[in-house]
Structure 1
Amino acid sequence: MEFELDRKTSVPYYLQIANNIKQFVESGFWKSGTKLPTERELSERLQVSRNTVSMAYKELQTEGVIVCHQGRGTFVSEQDDKLKQQSRKERLLKIIDVSIEEAIQLGFSLDEFLDITHIRAREKQEMLTQLKIAFIECNEEQINYFVNELYFDQGVSILPVLLSDLKENTESYNEQLKDVDVIITTFFHLEEIKDLLKNLNVDIVPIALELQMETVVKIARFSQETKIGLACKSENFAEKFKNAISKTGINNIEIYYTTNTSEDELINFVNSVDQIVTSPGRKKYLEKIISEKKDIVEVIFKPDEASLNLLKTTLVDLKQKVRGKIDEH
């Protein structure tokens, strides 16, 4: 099998490369453990920039199709997520079995073991509820997605803060945020937030947000000179969407947006464009008010893989501190 790039289509090269690799894996042409060409090798072979190949590999890593080992190279993943999840469960069961055997050897009954472990788990859960994360962003849509869609372990609470509110009520928010364990924001707002919260002794962790690959693929398939209408709640979100689309190399479309909430105005806006895209949370409402059937694409920005790993590491560090407090009791 060979790579196939359609240089006439509007679909970005990195998406075509990623789809080619998926086909190789799904067909069995590239099996688990197969080493992929380096970014330089593949970019020279396909006559595209190295950054294009890097973007394709990054997307595939996020989806779990490939895995990168520093110093060794990039490989087709050995196991899918389901198998990894089963493996984790099996390891946990072995730990529990060993603990039961040791408890019995110490003279405890199974009922006593259950009571003790239940109490211990409750103690740790109560301590974990003290983990508080504040997420600060400039647009309401992104805050809602972060709070509602990103999964955090049970016991982690999130305080959403709109940047404009923080600017208007800096003193009040400094008081609220002094009790959080960590503040999360985007790289774009990092320095501004550091300045606004300079009197707080709280770690601020920056993350990078990227347009979800599924959203990019759907938009790339729109025909030439398509008029896209974005229904969102803020101008910040609209500008962010425009910039993200521009960076993907999709340049065959015109983008218009509205932040209007009036039903009549929204219907008029929908009728004036060819395709509708919407910020998170508005899709169902638009489907209700639009009589003519139109495909509505939901625009989703999510933390990139490196940022998700950073968030996980941050939470682990916080939990270790909590466990230290538990062990002291």
Structure 2
Amino acid sequence: MSYALSSPTLTATMAMPAAQTGAVAIINPWSLVPPLGNLDAYISAVNRLPMLTLEQEQEFAKNLKENNDLDSAGKLVLSHLRLVVSISRKYLGYGLPHGDLIQEGNIGLMKAVKRFDPDQNVRLVSYAMHWIKAEIHEYILKNWRMVKVATTKAQRKLFFNLRSMKQGFKDDADVATHRDTLTEGQIDSMAKTLNVKREEVIEMEQRMSGGDVLLDPSPSDDGDDAFGPIAYLADATQEPTALMESRQRDNLASDGIGAALEELDPRARRIVEERWLKVNDDGSGGMTLHDLAAEYKVSAERIRQIEVAAMKKMKKVLAAYA
């Protein structure tokens, strides 16, 4: 269910006799709506919109609940826009645009109007505060940093109380400190007050005092690659291409070499094994060309020719494993 605050039907329905409202009658409240982008004019306009009496609020709320009357919903929303402005001012310290905070608060106000039950004998202003704050809180948590700093209920409580409590510690003459970090006593006091673990206080303090760091920074203006965490966090051994190359090398070194050697005659195989695959205990290789020539009673050049021919035959077999 959504409320179209710009609905032209509200132009006439918001007009109330001065005798009923106890204030100057506004024939066309939308004449107060400022041009887009002018936040100061918007705040001035919503502060001039008429407030509802208890009787009017009950009447509109019952009409919305029983008849799903959107005009009544619009009147309830319009009369409480100033409440959203007031609440949103308390969250300006998070560095987010005031207009965006008001916008999110207005969404919470509309949700409150939708769920408001006039039979509970509670004023809408008291009921809507929770919904307005909830929407603003969610917006701040999603947009304050690139990485969300609070996900659990305890972390949310810490996020919205840590800064104000730290300021209270600094203002207290008995525990005043010039350091930005919390002392052990302040951590214990904060954990006890908020009913959370002291480790959670320390973790949230570290999250809020830190900043966002790009994993892979863009190159600098002079063309040099910027250094970022991606340079030392990345594990090159688990990169897909590196894994495929590693498997290929292992396959060639085991199955491939074995299959290639099977294609050679005994003499050519022994020459290759002695020349390239054999390693002695002292780290030296196998037999030399002259050693093999003396054993087979041929020239060293003949041993080299047999070795070259064997290598060519082995390459053809290994090509199937590449």
Determine if the TM-score, normalized by the shorter chain, exceeds 0.5.
Answer: no
TM-score, with structure 1 as normaliser:
0.18
TM-score (norm 2): 0.19
Q: Please state which structure has a larger fraction of its residues in helix.
A: 2
Greater Rg by CA: 2
